[in-house]
């Protein structure tokens, strides 16, 4: 898979037999510099308050007759799937509802959803919920067209056959799964999260209705908001960043920094909620094209081990990774600091900007109630070697701006304890 880097193209090699999994290499033909190219994946996006009915129109345009609606018990209790089903039926469709998904969707849940999809004779897949629901919907669609088990597709561009059309409706403001080419599933045997990545997983239509965000509990609002912040920062400093991702990444950082605290205390204010919906969307557009970094590579392992909210773990790890990455090249943290409204200026020492950003991220995490260390959420010193080893095989590490050994990753985990 080809990605754009700061000065050249990068090629991601996915080798399941190598210790590090995906590796980054420069393209061949060293005798001539490769022109910088950018490739930007994005679905059709419908954005705005009261946009949920558009999901039914989108399903019809994609040829649906029996859409397979994926959600979870929490979103079901909030009432949003019931509203969606009314719109789908009003459009003449016969939707089938499946809501047996838990947080951090498990491999066996994806298999069960696929079997339900097959037995129901469905066509278009519609996901309404947070990142777990949307990843599960992608997983079901993937198996519907390609067979096997979900673990067969771990890595990059392993999906051969076109999958059923996808319409995604996020109910949280952070994961960006509704616009991304990622699918993250928990491997229950290895107790880790696997990353499945490929253009086929970019949804056909994303319908972003900020109304859905008001029913999030505070802990989920905080976690998904910090996830969006992490997406923006990691996408901006990624080896695969480019001009088309930078603008989205920085704007997402600015929106989260300005509006996340407000949504924690005035959850029904339409302005901040809409801003956070936009932040999640723009951060998703940034990271699905620029990919991510060490924070996500590490967070996936902790989440797989302890079945905890992904954004919560990101909020703990991100300041440590920022300081680690800033050692080699700190200049890109100046615009990030400026996006956060900090007194950064062009030409200032980059290490000052790194410290500003890391400190501000921790301050924001404190403000929304995120613990200061991994130990508070159950990570033990004895877990560190295993977590570090698994991190090296995560595809997100390939685009981290600073290379890392297993010893350095262990050091980061220990700092974050």
Mean pLDDT of 318-338: 95
28: which residues sit within 8 A by CB, 6+ positions away? none
CA 99 vs CA 3, 184, 208: distances in Å: 36, 18, 20
Q: Which of 299, 312, 231, 223 is nearest to 263 (CA)?
A: 223
Return the pLDDT at 20.
35
Helix, strand, coil content of the chain in percent (nearest 5): 50, 10, 35
Cβ pair 273, 210 in contact under 8 A = yes
Question: Tokens 């390609």 sit at which residue?
Answer: 146
- Measured in whole angstroms, the distance separating CA 31 from the mean position of its chain's CA atoms is 37
Position 26 pLDDT exceeds 60: no
What would be the CATH architecture of the domain defined by 234-416? Up-down Bundle (1.20)
- pLDDT tens column, 54-106: 999 999 999 999 999 999 999 999 999 999 999 999 999 999 999 999 999 99
Return the pLDDT at 349.
82
Position 224 pLDDT exceeds 50: yes
Return the pLDDT at 329.
82
Helix (H, G, I), strand (E, B) or coil at 384: helix
Cβ pair 145, 166 in contact under 8 A = no
Q: Which of 15, 17, 127 is nearest to 75 (CA)?
A: 127
Q: Which of 363, 181, 350 is nearest to 260 (CA)?
A: 363
Q: Strand 44-47 relative to strand 22-25: parallel, antiparallel, unpaired?
A: unpaired
Q: Which of 363, 375, 348 is nearest to 229 (CA)?
A: 363
* Percent of residues, the chain, with pLDDT higher than 90: 88
Q: Which of 365, 230, 225, 208 is nearest to 274 (CA)?
A: 208
H or E element, residue 92: none
Q: What CA–CA distance (Å, rounded) separates 30 from 265?
A: 55
Position 140 pLDDT exceeds 70: yes
* Percent of residues, the chain, with pLDDT higher than 70: 91
DSSP code of 237? H
- Residue 1: pLDDT band by 50, 70, 90 thresholds? very low
CATH fold group of domain 44-214: Rossmann fold (3.40.50)
Q: What CA–CA distance (Å, rounded) separates 281 from 285?
A: 6
Position 113 pLDDT exceeds 90: yes
Return the pLDDT at 315.
97
Q: Where are the domains of the chain?
A: 44-214, 234-416
Q: Is 179 left (phi over 0), alpha (psi -120 to 50) or beta?
A: alpha
Position 10 pLDDT exceeds 50: no
Q: Strand 22-25 relative to strand 182-187: parallel, antiparallel, unpaired?
A: unpaired
**If 0-12 CB within 10 Å is exposed, 13-18 middle and 19+ buried, where does residue 347 land?**
exposed
- pLDDT tens column, 370-390: 999 999 999 999 999 999 999
Q: In the sheet where 44-47 sits, what is the strand order? A: 44-47, 205-208, 166-170, 125-129, 68-70, 96-98
- Residue 348: pLDDT band by 50, 70, 90 thresholds? confident
How many CA atoms lie within 13 Å of 243's alpha carbon, on the beta-carbon side? 4
Return the pLDDT at 37.
76
Q: What CA–CA distance (Å, rounded) separates 389 from 410?
A: 8
Q: Which of 305, 254, 245, 267 is nearest to 104 (CA)?
A: 305
Cβ pair 226, 368 in contact under 8 A = yes
Return the pLDDT at 248.
98
- Residue 245: pLDDT band by 50, 70, 90 thresholds? very high
Return the pLDDT at 149.
97
110 versus 268: which is more confidently predicted? 110
**Confidence (pTM):** 0.90
- Mean pLDDT of all residues in the chain? 91
Return the pLDDT at 290.
96
- pLDDT tens column, 292-302: 999 999 999 99
- Residue 328: pLDDT band by 50, 70, 90 thresholds? confident
Mean pLDDT of 342-368: 94
Q: What CA–CA distance (Å, rounded) separates 203 from 319?
A: 31
Return the pLDDT at 4.
37
Mean pLDDT of 206-218: 97
Ordered DSSP codes for 312-362? HHHHHHHHHHHHHHTTT--TTHHHHHHHTT-S--TTS-HHHHHHHHHHHHH
Helices then strands, counting H and E runs in the chain, come out as 14, 12
Q: Beta-carbon neighbour count of residue 410 at 10 Å?
A: 17
- pLDDT tens column, 330-341: 999 999 999 999
Position 9 pLDDT exceeds 60: no
Return the pLDDT at 313.
98
Q: Which of 325, 263, 252 is nearest to 295 (CA)?
A: 325
């Amino acid at each position: 898979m080809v990605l754009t880097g700061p000065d050249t193209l990068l090629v991601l090699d996915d080798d399941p037999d190598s210790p590090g999994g995906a590796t980054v290499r420069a393209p061949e033909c060293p005798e001539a510099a490769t022109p910088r190219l950018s490739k930007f994946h994005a679905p059709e996006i419908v954005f705005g308050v009261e946009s949920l009915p558009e999901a039914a129109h989108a399903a019809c345009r994609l040829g649906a007759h029996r859409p397979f609606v994926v959600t979870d018990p929490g979103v079901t209790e909030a009432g949003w799937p019931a509203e969606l089903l009314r719109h789908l039926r009003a459009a003449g469709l016969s939707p089938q509802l499946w809501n047996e998904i838990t947080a951090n969707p498990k491999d066996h849940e994806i298999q069960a959803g696929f079997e339900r999809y097959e037995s129901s004779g469905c066509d278009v897949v519609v996901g309404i919920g947070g990142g777990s629901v949307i990843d599960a919907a992608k997983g079901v669609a993937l198996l519907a067209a390609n067979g096997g088990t979900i673990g067969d597709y771990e890595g990059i561009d392993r999906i051969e056959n076109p999958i059923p059309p996808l319409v995604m409706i996020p109910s949280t403001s952070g994961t960006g799964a509704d616009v991304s080419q990622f699918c993250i599933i928990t491997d229950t045997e290895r107790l880790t999260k696997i990353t499945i990545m490929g253009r086929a997983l970019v949804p056909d239509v994303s319908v972003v209705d900020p109304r859905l965000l008001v029913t999030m509990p505070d802990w989920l609002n905080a976690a998904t908001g910090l996830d969006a912040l992490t997406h923006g920062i990691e996408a901006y400093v990624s080896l695969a960043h480019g001009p088309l991702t930078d603008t989205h990444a920085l704007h997402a950082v600015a929106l989260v920094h300005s509006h996340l605290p407000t949504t924690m205390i005035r959850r029904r204010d339409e302005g901040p909620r809409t801003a956070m919906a936009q932040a999640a969307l723009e951060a998703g557009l940034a990271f699905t094209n620029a990919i991510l970094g060490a924070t996500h590579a590490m967070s996936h392992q902790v989440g797989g081990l302890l079945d905890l909210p992904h954004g919560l773990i990101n909020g703990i790890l991100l300041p440590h990774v920022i300081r680690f990455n800033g050692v080699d090249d700190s200049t890109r943290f100046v615009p990030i600091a400026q996006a956060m409204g900090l007194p950064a200026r062009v030409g200032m020492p980059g290490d000052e900007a790194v410290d500003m950003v890391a400190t501000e991220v921790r301050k924001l995490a404190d403000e929304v109630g995120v613990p200061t260390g991994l130990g508070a959420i159950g990570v033990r010193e004895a877990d560190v070697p295993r977590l570090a080893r698994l991190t090296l095989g995560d595809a997100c590490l390939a685009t981290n701006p600073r290379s890392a050994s297993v010893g350095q990753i262990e050091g980061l985990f220990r700092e974050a304890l």
